[in-house]
């Protein structure tokens, strides 16, 4: 009986080793190739990097305010500083928790689709600007467009804000470079006309997870992307094929 037990134990062990081996091979097999499944993209996961964005406007306007890499969760999380994609920690570049990149430009600048995709949001929508000026009654209408693009199963939303004119409708299919409206100073744009551009990955629950299309380079002070290890974070990637 003892030997029988040992034999069973041995065969069980071999089976277990077999399962573990399969598991290891499965992990190794899927490690290099990336994933095509949208189910694999959610908070905390590493989204693949694809260069699919082109300049979102006509003309030359450089970024003016940056995504806050540390916590791009305005107005929910504020910690007093902004961390840029090159790793600079500052309280003066942009504003705390900024969830996009701002490009200062004259009102009426032509905005174009930064990628082909489907318009999932377009028109003028009310914004609560009280988070800026402590006046809970300040609401402004803001011209907005969001284009959705699915790249290898990853759902990206490209969101334009503060527009003065919107020339597309929800459900429209657009191609990269196609005019979608004009820039402006609507909503909570403040004193400077600008385009606020947000790039997000859509999470499992439909939530938008801000990513920085300018990627992350790190720095001596912050060698790793703090957003990558944040419980609700996603790795930032360089997504431009034609940089503004
Ligand atoms: Zn902005």
Tell me the torsion sign for CA atoms 43, 44, 48, 49: positive
Query: How many whole angstroms separate alpha carbon 84 and alpha carbon 107?
Result: 26
pLDDT attached to residue 194: 97
* Residue list, CB under 5 A from ion ligand 1: 100, 102, 196
pLDDT digits (tens, 9 = 90+) for 130-172: 776 665 567 889 999 999 999 888 899 999 999 999 999 999 9
Tell how far the Cα of 87 is from the centroid of ligand 1, in angstroms: 19
Alpha carbon of 122 to ligand 1 centroid (Å): 18
Q: Which residues pair with 155 in a beta bridge?
A: 150
> What does residue 145 show for φ and ψ, rounded to 5 degrees?
-140, 140
CATH code of 63-229, in short, is 2.70.70.10
The predicted-structure confidence for 192-241, as pLDDT tens digits, reads as follows 999 999 999 898 899 888 888 888 766 555 566 666 666 655 555 688 88
Q: Of 9 and 164, which is predicted with more confidence?
A: 164
Rounded mean pLDDT, 2-20: 38
Closest CA to 53 of 107, 2, 101, 5: 101
Spacing, Cα 161 to ligand 1 middle (Å): 8
Across the chain, what does the average pLDDT equal? 77
CA of 30 to the centre of ligand 1 (A): 38
Long-range pairs for 78-85: beta carbons < 8 A, 24 or more residues apart: 83/222, 83/226, 85/212, 85/214, 85/215, 85/216, 85/217, 85/236
Predicted confidence at residue 158, as pLDDT, reads: 98
Domain ranges of the chain: 2-33, 63-229
């Amino acid at each position: 009986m003892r030997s029988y037990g040992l034999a069973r134990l041995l065969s069980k062990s071999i089976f277990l080793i077999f399962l573990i081996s399969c598991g290891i091979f499965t992990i190794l097999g899927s490690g290099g190739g990336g994933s095509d499944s949208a189910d694999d993209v959610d908070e905390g996961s590493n989204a693949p990097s694809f260069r699919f964005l082109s300049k979102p406007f006509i003309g030359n306007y450089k970024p003016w305010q940056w995504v806050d890499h540390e916590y791009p969760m305005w107005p929910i999380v504020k910690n007093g500083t902004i961390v840029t994609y090159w790793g600079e920690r500052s309280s003066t570049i942009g504003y705390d928790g900024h969830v996009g990149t701002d490009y200062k430009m004259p009102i009426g600048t032509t905005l174009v689709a930064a990628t082909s995709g489907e318009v999932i949001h377009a028109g003028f929508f009310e914004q609560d600007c009280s988070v800026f000026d402590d006046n809970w009654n300040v609401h402004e209408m803001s011209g907005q467009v969001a284009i959705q693009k699915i790249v290898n199963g990853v759902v990206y939303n490209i969101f334009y804000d503060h527009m003065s004119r919107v020339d597309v409708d929800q459900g429209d299919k657009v191609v990269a470079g196609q005019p979608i409206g004009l820039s402006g100073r609507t909503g909570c744009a403040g004193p400077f006309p600008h385009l606020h551009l947000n790039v997000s990955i859509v999470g499992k629950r439909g939530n938008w997870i801000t990513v920085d299309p300018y990627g992350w380079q790190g720095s001596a002070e912050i060698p790793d992307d703090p957003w990558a290890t944040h419980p609700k974070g996603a790795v930032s990637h360089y997504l431009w094929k034609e940089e503004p």
